[in-house]
Amino acid sequence: MTPRSVAFYTLGCKLNYSETSSIGRLFEASGYQTVDFELGADIYVINTCSVTDFADRKCRNIVRKALRHSPHAFVVVIGCYAQLKPEEIANIPGVDLVLGAAEKFQILDYIDDLSKAPGKGMVQAGKVQQANSFVDAFSFGDRTRSFLKVQDGCDYKCTFCTIPLARGKSRSDTIENVVANAEKIASMGVKEIVLTGVNIGDFGNGTAVIEGTKPKKEAMFIDLIKALDEVEGIERFRISSIEPNLCTNEIIEFVAQSKRFAPHFHMPLQSGNNKQLQAMRRRYKRELYADRVATIKSLMPHSCIGVDVIVGFPNETAEDFLETYRFIHELDVSYLHVFTYSERPNTPSIEMENSVPMEERRRRNEMLTILSEKKRHHFYEQHLGETRKVLFEEHKAQEWMSGFTDNYIKIALPIQKELLNEVHSVTLKRIVSSSLVEAKLAYTLA
């Protein structure tokens, strides 16, 4: 009997990719064959995101694409958007099953009957409070690096964010299990691990959630990274994103002298204006953020620092925005991820007055995007002529290979297939685009 085939499509963050990959391994362990999305499959699993207001449109587009490739395929939608809007998704033509945050890892229990729904798809999505246990996950097979999930959910109440509504309370894996997963990933030949979660700096919350109480803090993020630094076989770890109030001096000092942690931090700022930060219910002021950047750069002058920022939040005046612009301009950071604020149902910010016109939001986004390109170019320029270690991977152009230095500079050089998934030193030669540096091997291979 030919095994049934399954294909996956992932929208959103590294955490989603880690979970999709783990769900894929559940299918394979049950005898399913994973195929490329375009080849046509018996089952399509679409893992959704809810960070932007385009979730509905993206989901509909992917469902349509899946059914073009395989008109009789059984379509399952999971992820953050599936938890937030299950009925809405169930009404998308072609969707057969919608699974919520607590149900997605039991997906195999729900697909015994693969007959397509004649009308609205079936919904299995309980209240987000039911997503109160931690399910580990990591990605493997589609990249040179692995995304390793160490934490899920969030207890913060940022006024613009739907993630607590989609993923529930903050909860974590155990240090022992994270280390075991890292060792397993190393045994598969992967050289780099990116630690992922919703709020990984909050690592350490147990999973024994009792209604109305907060789980006992069983460990701290610093304890986790100290344990991971001893894992043999992994060349380097990256911290995907960490809140500035949780990126303590102890963490920064440890990364600066660690064996395996890359000098690369990604810290969400969201606004460089304290009034806006307070309205967003962020847990720091701009002064703390500036202090964190200064500490990182004092200990690791070569380090890369990425910044998340939101433009067009309610009540953001032209002067508020310019204050943010000037603040970031003066910061010694390397690149920005710029988000245009979008109104999200069931968030406090949707009730706020003085909405910024969309045209103005886009204009502010463009200004910061240009600033980001200048920041990245300046950061790259500072390191030209240096020798740094790179993990080589395939490039979209077959005659080239690419990779990232420890401090997250993307490089390219003519392909030598024997070097793929290996770490070697290169000399950075010249900037060839806004996000790429040409390099050469720092020595001749025997």
Encode pLDDT of 377-421 as tens digits.
Answer: 999 999 999 999 999 998 888 889 999 999 999 999 999 999 999
| Residue 4 token pair | 């049934």
User: Residue 17 has what pLDDT?
Assistant: 93
Distant-in-sequence, close-in-space partners of 204: CB < 8 Å, separation ≥ 6: 172, 217, 218, 219, 220, 221, 223, 224
Three-state DSSP class for residue 387: strand
Provide the pLDDT confidence category of residue 329 given band limits of 50, 70 and 90.
very high
Residue 446 has pLDDT above 80, yes or no: no
Average pLDDT over residues 253-277: 98
Most confident segment among 123-137, 212-226, 361-375: 361-375
- Give yes or no for residue 210 having a pLDDT over 50: no
pLDDT for the residue 216: 61
Give the pLDDT of residue 207: 53
Give 127's pLDDT tier (boundaries 50, 70, 90): confident
* pLDDT recorded at residue 52: 64
Write out pLDDT tens, residues 278-324: 999 999 999 999 999 999 999 999 999 999 999 999 999 999 999 99
Q: Output the pLDDT for position 117.
A: 67
Q: Which two tokens stand for residue 273?
A: 């204006």
Q: Classify residue 198 as left (phi > 0), alpha (psi -120 to 50) or beta.
A: alpha
Q: State the pLDDT confidence band at 77, using cuts at 50, 70 and 90.
A: very high
**Burial group, residue 86, by CB count within 10 angstroms (0-12, 13-18, 19+):** buried
pLDDT in tens, 147-203: 999 999 999 999 999 989 999 999 999 999 999 999 999 999 999 999 999 999 999
Mean pLDDT rounded to a whole number for the chain: 91
Beta strands in 89-174 (DSSP E): 97-99, 122-124, 145-149, 151-152, 171-172
Tokens representing 381 are 């320029």
Q: Which amino acid is it at 72? A: H
Confidence (pLDDT) at 175: 94
Q: Which of 299, 298, 382, 367 is nearest to 334 (CA)?
A: 382
Considering the domain 387-441 in this protein, what is its CATH number? 2.40.50
Distance CA 429, CA 46 (A): 41
Determine the pLDDT at residue 260.
Answer: 97
Q: Which residues contact 367 (CB under 8 A, 6 or more apart)?
A: 325
* pLDDT band, very low/low/confident/very high, at 113 (cuts 50, 70, 90): confident
Residue with tokens 């030209």: 384
Token digits of residue 364: 């502010």
Q: What's the pLDDT at 445?
A: 59
Predicted confidence (pLDDT) at residue 57 exceeds the cutoff of 90: no
Report whether pLDDT(212) > 60. no
Q: Specify the pLDDT at position 232.
A: 96
249-257 vs 221-228: helix crossing angle, rounded to 10: 10
Count CB atoms within 10 A of the CB of residue 141. Answer: 11
CA quadruple 8, 99, 209, 348: dihedral sign: positive
Encode pLDDT of 134-163 as tens digits.
899 999 986 789 999 999 999 999 999 998
Q: In DSSP terms, which residues pair with 411 in a beta bridge?
A: 403, 437
Task: Give the separation between CA 100 and CA 103, rounded to whole angstroms.
Answer: 5
Asked if pLDDT for residue 352 goes beyond 70, the answer is: yes
CATH of domain 5-126: 3.40.50.12160
All structural domains of the chain with their residue ranges: 5-126, 132-262, 387-441
Rounded-to-10 torsion of CA 250, 260, 17, 200:
-10
3-state secondary structure of 80: helix
Q: Among residues of the chain, what percentage have pLDDT more than 90?
A: 80
**373 vs 23, 169, 331, 428, 437, CA distance in Å?**
36, 36, 14, 19, 14
DSSP-assigned letters across all residues of 276-342: HHHHTT-SS-HHHHHHHHHHHHHH-TT-EEEEEEEES-TT--HHHHHHHHHHHHHS---EEEEEE--
Fold for 132-262, please state it.
Transcription Regulator spoIIAA (3.30.750)
Query: If residue 67 lies in a helix (H) or strand (E), which one and from where to where?
Result: helix 55-69
For residue 171, the 8-state DSSP code is E
**pTM across the whole model:** 0.92
Q: Bigger pLDDT: 213 or 389?
A: 389
> Residue 209: is its pLDDT beyond 50?
no
Cα angle 398, 403, 407; round to 5: 165
Which carries the bigger pLDDT value, residue 314 or residue 51? 314
Lowest mean pLDDT among 88-102, 124-138, 240-254, 399-413: 124-138
